[in-house]
Amino acid sequence: MNETTQKKRMLDTRMVPAPSQGIIPERDLYSTPVLEARHLGIEFGGLKAVEDFNLIIGKTEIAGLIGPNGAGKTTVFNLLTKVYQPTMGTVLLNGKDTAGMNTVQANKLGIARTFQNIRLFDNMTVEDNVRIGLHNQVKYGMFTGILRLPGYWKQEKQQHEKALELLSIFDMQDLAGVRAGSLPYGAQRRLEIVRALATHPSLLLLDEPAAGMNPHETEELMRNIIKIRDKFQIAIMLIEHDMNLVMGICEGICVLNYGRIIAKGTADEIQANPVVIEAYLGKKKEG
């Protein structure tokens, strides 16, 4: 079975009109890929924002999605998390078709994200933000909560411990009682990652995690992203403009321009690809 699935995967990747060898790390070849996007696309009133997007992400891969401004990177994230319903193509999450699902169902299936323009629950504390992430792993209803039945105290305590444990990834456990909106910018970005992790995803989408961070913070973030992957054994896909970060930690990189994939490959392949260089530097720009 392993060989046939591998062959099938090779076939799938060949459908992509761009170099795509080595897009899944070898260790992930024999497990179901966490994400398979096939001919994914969306049209906004005739404008094709994303078109023919094909991508496979391995079970524990760190993938990068790069491209010039307005290339459609965040649109891809919105398609994968079902904020937009794709007008073309399919998305398989852990082998399951996500057609017709909404954001909530996609999250329950194992996809979590952060946002380019930070979207924290500003008026709630840092810990409560993480607890919202843990929401679907805690199973007590409204009446147990109001009547303070034993289940409430027990699960509330578990939730508290879990939240602190997750916050400790970024050494933020001391900030648990602080209002999220009053955190400094970098800490807000980190809190968003923790909150997304709390939903127990198998694929974590990070939208510009290093935006607004200084080089020192970015380096720490790189270490932490790898740490998160190793600890939780999940796949991470990130949009980022900081090339040091992308080239440093991404095993597979996908370059998007005008809503189409123009190149795929490892960091070295991407850096040497003339099409990518052209897209970024604007040589011979058309239309």
Partner 1 sequence: MKLKKNAVNNIICYGLVIVVFIICQAMISNGSMTRSLKGQMVPICVYIVMAVSLNLVVGISGELSLGHAGFMSIGAFSSIIGAAWMRSALGIENETLRLILSMIVGGVFAGVFGVLIGIPVLRLRGDYLAIVTLAFGEIIRNVLNCFYFSLEGNRLHVAFNNPNLPGTILLNGPNGAKDVAKISTFPAGFVLILFTLFVVLNLINSRSGRAIMATRDNRIAAEAMGINVTKYKMMAFVTAAVLAGMAGALYGLNFSTVAASKFKFDTSILVLVFVVLGGIGNIWGSIVAAALLTVLPELLRAFSDYRMLVYAIVLILVMLVTNNPMIRGLVNGLFRRKGAAAQTQGGGADE
142 belongs to the binding site for partner 1 (CB under 8 A): yes
Q: 77 by DSSP, 3-state: which? A: helix
CB 27 within 8 A of CB 272: no
Q: Pick the closest to residue 191 from 202, 200, 203, 178 (CA basis).
A: 178
- Give the pairing type, strands 203-207 and 111-113: parallel
- Total residues binding partner 1 (CB under 8 A): 44
The length of the chain is 287
Q: For residues 158 and 233, which CB has a smaller minimum distance to partner 1 in the complex?
A: 158
Q: Which of 181, 215, 231, 272 binds partner 1 (CB under 8 A)?
A: 181
Residue placing its CB nearer to partner 1 in the complex, 115 or 258: 115
> Does residue 148 bind partner 1 (CB under 8 A)?
yes
Q: Say whether 39 sits in a helix, a strand or coil.
A: strand
Q: Tell which one of 59, 73, 195, 260 touches partner 1 (CB under 8 A).
A: 195
Q: Is residue 112 near partner 1 by the rule CB under 8 A?
A: yes
DSSP-assigned letter for residue 25: -
Q: How far is the CB of 286 from partner 1 (least distance, A)?
A: 35
The yes or no reply on residue 149 touching partner 1 (CB under 8 A) is no
Return the residue of 41, 72, 89, 133 that touches partner 1, per CB under 8 A: 133
- Reduced to 3 DSSP states, what percent helix, strand and coil does the chain have, rounded to the nearest 5? 45, 20, 35
* E strand segments, the chain: 35-44, 47-57, 62-66, 88-93, 96-97, 111-113, 203-207, 235-239, 252-257, 260-265
Binding mask 262-281 for partner 1 (x = CB under 8 A): --------------------
State the residues that interact with partner 1 by CB under 8 A. Answer: 81, 83, 102-104, 107-108, 112-113, 115, 119-125, 127-128, 131-133, 135-136, 138, 140-142, 144-148, 152, 155-156, 159, 176-177, 179, 181, 195-196, 199
